[in-house]
Amino acid sequence: MSRGEGVVGAYEKCDFAEGMELEKRERRKGLKGALSPERAVTLLYLLLALAFVLFLALTIVSLRRVSAAWEALEQARMQSEKSWTTAWHNLSEVQHILDKQLSGELKAIHGRLLNVSQEVENVRWKMTQCKAECGKELSDRLRVLEERDVLEPVLQQLAEVKQEQSRASALLDAALEETRNLSEILCTRCPAGWQQFAKTCYFFSTTDKPWLAAKDSCGDFNAHLVVINSEQENKFLANHIMENRVFWLGLTDMDKEGDWQWIDGRSLSLSFWNSGEPNNVGHHGEDCATIYSSGRWNDATCSNAEAWICERSC
């Protein structure tokens, strides 16, 4: 080998060695720039922890918002209940005032009707008296004319007088019938101590008796235990009951449990039972009905001693 070739070979070897060294340096830089597995796992845990903390913070915020919304709803509900209670109380007071005013107006009307009835009775008595007197006067005139032996004009006059008497008698009879009907409509003949509503008289007892004894007591007055036919009648009765008193009604199911019948034989169609009534509790059962001052009904044991209400036509 010549000397020149040896020098070229040495340069080639030197270049190759430098290339290998540069390649190793590049590989080391690449390894330094990449993450190791341990650092990657640690970074992943950190990211998961950060995500959990973020989720927990969002959950707490959401729970606070839900709690605030629930408190707002609860306050709204309490306010609504308070408003409803206040409105119901105001309505009850208005109803109580109206009932008192209506009761006063009914008493005033009853007083006026009593005066009218008395005037009608006076007119009817006067008309009856007039009928008797006028009839007697016409009969005397007829008797005088019949006793006379007169001519045809007098007989014609006699016939006219008879017709006049018939017409007057018919008019008086019609007037008496009208006054009788008017007196029945006004209905002002309730006995002393009885209360009048429409065309019916009511007696509120001041003593207590079992249901059957109360029924017999009403019979002594030619009356019966009260039978309620309308809401207005039920309100009338309630307005005459003190808060601490209870009165028997003419309503029972002692013949067949659950089949409530009025004392006049009619089945129950309109009722004002209290909440949960009738419930027929107790060893002896509850087969007779009572009424409270609120107008609500309750079933009670018939042997209990309670006040009672009698009813009769006026």
Report pLDDT for 118: 65
The rounded average pLDDT for each run of 10 residues, N- to C-terminus, in the chain (314 residues) is 51 62 64 66 88 90 86 82 72 67 68 65 64 64 60 71 76 66 60 92 96 97 96 96 94 95 95 95 92 96 97 90
C-alpha span between 249 and 215 (Å, rounded):
9
Angle in degrees, CA 158, 162, 163, rounded to 5: 120
SS (HEC) of the chain:
CCHHHHHHHHHHHHHHHHHHHHHHHHHHHHHHHCCCHHHHHHHHHHHHHHHHHHHHHHHHHHHHHHHHHHHHHHHHHHHHHHHHHHHHHHHHHHHHHHHHHHHHHHHHHHHHHHHHHHHHHHHHHHHHHHHHHHHHHHHHHHHHHHHCCCCHHHHHHHHHHHHHHHHHHHHHHHHHHHHHHHHHHHCCCCCCCCEEECCEEEEECCCCECHHHHHHHHHHCCCEECCCCCHHHHHHHHHCCCCCCCEEEEEECCCCCCCCEECCCCECCCCCECCCCCCCCCCCCCCEEEECCCCCEEEECCCCCEEEEEEEEC
Report pLDDT for 238: 96
Report pLDDT for 8: 47
Residues of the chain with pLDDT > 70, as a percent, come to 65
Cβ–Cβ < 8 Å for 278, 262: no
* Terminal Cα distance for the chain, rounded: 162
Report pLDDT for 195: 94
Report pLDDT for 171: 74
Report pLDDT for 211: 98
Report pLDDT for 296: 97
pTM (2 d.p.): 0.45
Return the amino acid letter for 171: L
Domain boundaries, the chain: 105-186, 195-313
Residue keyed to tokens 């009850």: 92
Report pLDDT for 89: 72
Report pLDDT for 302: 97
Report pLDDT for 31: 46
- CATH number given to 195-313: 3.10.100.10
